[in-house]
């Protein structure tokens, strides 16, 4: 087992982390007092007991915390602060590249435009980046710099009361079939992301789709994803988190997904529901082969998968081990640092402890995170950045033998 302090030194990425799921609890308490928003408790310990738990009984309970975090993120200053602190928290544990994803439409209202939502988040991330990269070790080239990108997240489903923006959408299109309204909101987000990226030079590099998979298929959002595809936004999709392999198939075929969020049930034949799929084992093998051949990276979020899927009460049963053995491109992410009470380093430790992740597999997984990122620079800049990450990792291997492939720990005593 690699010591925790060594894991923290590793240059890591987090390609799947939600801004509203990663607000510091101390900040949530402070902003709630400022904006007069009532919380179930008035202390960090109290919120850990009532809202942000280690274990949840259902997905609905897991999602409860987002109602409070989104409620306090309704101003430019709050969004900027949350983004800044999220970057600092990542930097503190060795994360050198982060893609912050969130649904801007949850924060748009009469006094806060889509442009200002995205500009605020970018300001916070940019400030943290500039501070970190001004450090002597980075300037002298002894350590790789910190980089970031923004991924905008569309919703498969939204209801009244979630945001003023969504309420307006439902009111204006009150006679339309709801799924068509959800799809229209996704298209508007894709169009806004492209325009705002161009006008304000904000590193919006990815487009995502989140929300309940059952009953809200990815194919509803083809128009939005085609638009994102046309204007060179990279694409990821929450798929296979709470539904079977067919959801993943839709994500990579209908929506051109470059990466998959979670993909938890990729290998699970029991979750296939399409009666036309007669040979389920072959279907799963073909799907996994397709994903492997095209290096479609799966964003693995171990802790949140355990918390939201009742079938995964034992981490040793998580399919990450099967994905690793199949040589799929995977990278370890947090999903929600606050709601899941985790960090990238903790996720790596859990993978090593419960899923027998070996040093050479860890290195491959870490490097995949940087190689398959939606890096905001040019291809040449990305190659140089990844090279710096690999060189730094190899330097740490020389300093810490336990990181080297094939290392056998010395028995204590």
pLDDT higher than threshold 50 for residue 89? yes
For the chain, percent of residues with pLDDT exceeding 70: 98
CATH superfamily of 4-24+80-403: Metal-dependent hydrolases (3.20.20.140)
As separate numbers, helices (DSSP H) first and strands (DSSP E) second, the chain gives: 17, 8
44/70 Cα distance (integer angstroms): 17
- 12 is written with which tokens? 């890591």
Q: What is the pLDDT of residue 412?
A: 38
- The per-residue b/e assignment along 356-385, b for 16 or more CB within 10 angstroms, e otherwise, is ebebebbbbbbbbbbbbbbbbeeeeebeeb
User: How many other C-beta atoms are found inside a 10 Å radius of the C-beta of residue 112?
Assistant: 20
Q: What is the pLDDT of residue 306?
A: 92
What share of residues in the chain are helix, strand, coil (percent, to 5)?
55, 10, 35
pLDDT higher than threshold 60 for residue 112? yes
CB-based contact 212:156 (threshold 8 Å): yes
Q: What is the pLDDT of residue 1?
A: 87
Q: Give per-residue pLDDT as tens, 30-86.
A: 999 999 999 999 999 999 999 999 888 877 789 899 999 999 999 999 999 999 999
Q: Give per-residue pLDDT as tens, 154-165.
A: 999 999 999 999
Question: Could you tell me the strand order of the sheet in which 147-155 lies?
Answer: 12-18, 95-102, 147-155, 204-210, 234-239, 259-262, 297-300, 330-332
Q: Give per-residue pLDDT as tens, 388-397.
A: 999 999 999 9
pLDDT higher than threshold 90 for residue 243? no
Q: Which of 281-295, 307-321, 344-358 has the lowest mean pLDDT?
A: 307-321
Sketch the domain layout of the chain as residue ranges: 4-24+80-403
pLDDT higher than threshold 70 for residue 147? yes
Catalytic residues: 241
Q: What is the pLDDT of residue 116?
A: 98
CA dihedral sign of residues 4, 322, 97, 59: negative
| Average pLDDT rounded to a whole number, residues 220-246 | 95
| Average pLDDT rounded to a whole number, residues 290-294 | 95
243/212 Cα distance (integer angstroms): 9
For the chain, percent of residues with pLDDT exceeding 90: 91
321/97 Cα distance (integer angstroms): 24
Q: Name the residue among 5, 14, 121 with its Cα closest to residue 73.
A: 121
| Average pLDDT rounded to a whole number, residues 298-326 | 92
**What is the average pLDDT value for the chain, to the nearest integer?**
95
CB-based contact 90:22 (threshold 8 Å): no
CA dihedral sign of residues 295, 296, 301, 305: negative
Q: What is the pLDDT of residue 408?
A: 56
Tell me the chain's radius of gyration from C-alpha atoms. 21
Tell which wins on pLDDT, 242 or 125: 125
75/225 Cα distance (integer angstroms): 28
pLDDT higher than threshold 50 for residue 413? no
Between the alpha carbon of residue 213 and those of residues 161, 312, 315, 330, 332, the distances in Å are 21, 18, 23, 21, 22
pLDDT higher than threshold 90 for residue 322? yes
Residues 6 or more apart in contact with residue 390 via CB below 8 angstroms? 367
């Amino acid at each position: 087992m690699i010591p925790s302090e060594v894991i923290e030194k590793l240059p890591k990425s987090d390609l799947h982390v939600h801004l509203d799921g990663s607000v510091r609890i101390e900040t949530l308490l402070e902003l709630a007092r400022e904006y007069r928003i009532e919380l179930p408790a008035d202390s960090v310990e109290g919120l850990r007991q009532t809202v942000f738990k280690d274990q949840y009984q259902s997905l609905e309970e897991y999602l409860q915390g987002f109602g409070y975090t989104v409620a306090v993120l309704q101003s430019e200053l709050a969004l900027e602060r949350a983004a800044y602190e999220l970057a600092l928290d990542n930097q503190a544990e060795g994360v050198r590249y982060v893609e912050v994803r969130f649904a801007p439409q949850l924060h748009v209202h009469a006094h806060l435009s889509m442009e200002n939502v995205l500009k605020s988040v970018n300001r916070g991330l940019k400030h943290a980046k500039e501070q970190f990269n001004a450090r002597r070790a980075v300037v002298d080239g002894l350590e790789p710099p910190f980089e970031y990108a923004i991924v905008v997240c569309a919703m498969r489903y939204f209801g009244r009361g979630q945001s003023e923006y969504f309420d307006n959408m439902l009111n204006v299109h009150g006679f339309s079939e709801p799924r068509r309204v959800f799809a229209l909101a996704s298209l508007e987000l894709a169009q806004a992301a492209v325009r705002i990226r161009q006008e304000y030079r904000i590193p919006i590099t990815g487009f995502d789709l989140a929300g309940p998979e059952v009953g809200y298929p990815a194919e509803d959002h083809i128009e939005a994803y085609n638009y994102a595809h046309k204007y060179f936004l990279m694409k990821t999709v929450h798929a296979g988190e709470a539904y079977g392999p067919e959801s993943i198939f839709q994500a990579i075929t209908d929506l051109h997904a470059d990466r998959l969020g979670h993909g938890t049930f990729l290998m699970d034949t029991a979750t296939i529901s399409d009666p036309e799929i007669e040979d389920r084992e072959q279907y799963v093998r073909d799907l996994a082969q397709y994903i492997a051949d095209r290096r479609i990276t799966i964003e693995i979020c171990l802790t949140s998968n355990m918390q939201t899927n009742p079938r995964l009460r034992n981490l040793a049963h998580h399919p990450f081990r099967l994905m690793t053995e199949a040589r799929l491109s995977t990278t370890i992410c947090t999903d929600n640092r606050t709601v899941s009470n985790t960090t990238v380093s903790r996720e790596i430790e859990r993978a090593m402890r419960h899923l027998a992740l070996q040093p050479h597999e860890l290195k491959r997984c870490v490097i995949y995170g940087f190689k398959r990122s939606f890096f905001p620079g040019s291809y040449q800049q990305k190659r140089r950045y990844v090279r710096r990450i690999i060189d730094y990792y190899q330097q740490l291997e020389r300093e810490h033998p336990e990181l080297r492939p094939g290392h056998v720990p010395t028995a204590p005593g």
